[in-house]
C-alpha cells in the first residue's frame, strides 16, 4: 500500500511537472508573441505619427510659402483705359509720344496706363484684324526686361541706340532708352528693318 501511494504521488508529481513545463513553455511563447505585437504596435505608431507630422507640416509650411510668394510677386493692376494721348499726359504728368505712321492695314485699338513703381507704364495698342497687334510701351527704366530666345542687334538711328530683337531673320521688337524711361515697339508679326525705321520716325 505504501509503495502504491508513493508510485501514485510520483506519477502525480510527474504529471504536474509536465504541466508546469508546458505552462512555462506556453508562457515563454506568450511572452515572445507579446514582444512582437508590442514591436509592431510601436512601429506602426511611430510611422503613423511621422505621417501625421508630415501632413501637419505641409498644412503649415505650404500656406506660409504661398503667403510669402504672394508678397514677393505683385500682380500687375489693369490698365486705366483712355481715348487719347492728352488724357494720358494729364494723368501721368509728362509728355507721351504716339504713332503717326502705321504699317498697312493696322489701326488704333486702345491705349491706357497704370501706376508702376512710383511712375507709370503707358501702353498703346494697334491691330491688324486677324493678323496680330503692334504695341508701343513707355515705362520706367527700372523695368527694362531681358529678352530670351531672340537675337539682339544694336543700331544707331534717329539719334538713338536701338536694340532690335529678331528670330529666324524677322525683327519682332525695337527697344531704346533714356535716363528715365525705356521705350519698346513690339509686333506679333515681324517687320523688315525699313518698316521699323518708318514706325520709329513716326513717333511724335
What does each of the 204 residues of the chain score in pLDDT, given as a tens digit? 444 444 544 444 344 444 333 344 444 444 455 666 767 776 777 787 877 766 665 554 444 544 444 444 455 678 899 999 999 999 999 999 999 999 999 999 999 999 877 789 999 999 999 889 999 999 998 888 888 899 999 999 999 999 999 999 999 999 999 999 999 999 999 999 999 999 999 998
Residue with cell 508702376: 116
| Among 93, 98, 105, CA closest to 125 | 98
| pLDDT of 84 | 92
Q: Which three three-digit cell numbers place residue 95?
A: 509728355
Judge if pTM exceeds 0.85. no
- Indicate whether 63 and 108 sit together in one domain: no
- Indicate whether 94 and 186 sit together in one domain: yes
CB 103 within 8 A of CB 199: yes
- Indicate whether 11 and 103 sit together in one domain: no
| Boundary (domain end) residue, out of 24, 54, 75 | 75
Question: How many domains, the chain?
Answer: 2
| pLDDT of 22 | 38
| Boundary (domain end) residue, out of 52, 75, 98 | 75
- Indicate whether 70 and 103 sit together in one domain: no
| pLDDT of 67 | 40
Which residue range forms the structural domain that includes residue 56? 1-75
Please enumerate in sequence order all residues whose Cβ is within 8 A of that of 202, keeping only pairs 6 or more positions apart, or say none.
99, 100, 101, 102
| Boundary (domain end) residue, out of 38, 60, 75 | 75
Amino acid at each position: 500500500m505504501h509503495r502504491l501511494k508513493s508510485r501514485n504521488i510520483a506519477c502525480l508529481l510527474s504529471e504536474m511537472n509536465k504541466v508546469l513545463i508546458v505552462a512555462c513553455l506556453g508562457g515563454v511563447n506568450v511572452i515572445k508573441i507579446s514582444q512582437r505585437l508590442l514591436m509592431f504596435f510601436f512601429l506602426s505608431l511611430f510611422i503613423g505619427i511621422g505621417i501625421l507630422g508630415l501632413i501637419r507640416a505641409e498644412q503649415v509650411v505650404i500656406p506660409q510659402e504661398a503667403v510669402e510668394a504672394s508678397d514677393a510677386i505683385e500682380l500687375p493692376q489693369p490698365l486705366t483705359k483712355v481715348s487719347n494721348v492728352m488724357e494720358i499726359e494729364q494723368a501721368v504728368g509728362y509728355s507721351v509720344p504716339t504713332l503717326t505712321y502705321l504699317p498697312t492695314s493696322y489701326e488704333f485699338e486702345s491705349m491706357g496706363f497704370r501706376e508702376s513703381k512710383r511712375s507709370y507704364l503707358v501702353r498703346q495698342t494697334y491691330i491688324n484684324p486677324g493678323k496680330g497687334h503692334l504695341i508701343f510701351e513707355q515705362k520706367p527704366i527700372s523695368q527694362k526686361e531681358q529678352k530670351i530666345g531672340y537675337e539682339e542687334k544694336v543700331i544707331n538711328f534717329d539719334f538713338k541706340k536701338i536694340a532690335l530683337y529678331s528670330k529666324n531673320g524677322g525683327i519682332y521688337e525695337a527697344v531704346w532708352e533714356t535716363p528715365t524711361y525705356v521705350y519698346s515697339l513690339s509686333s506679333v508679326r515681324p517687320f523688315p528693318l525699313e518698316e521699323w525705321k518708318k514706325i520709329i520716325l513716326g513717333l511724335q
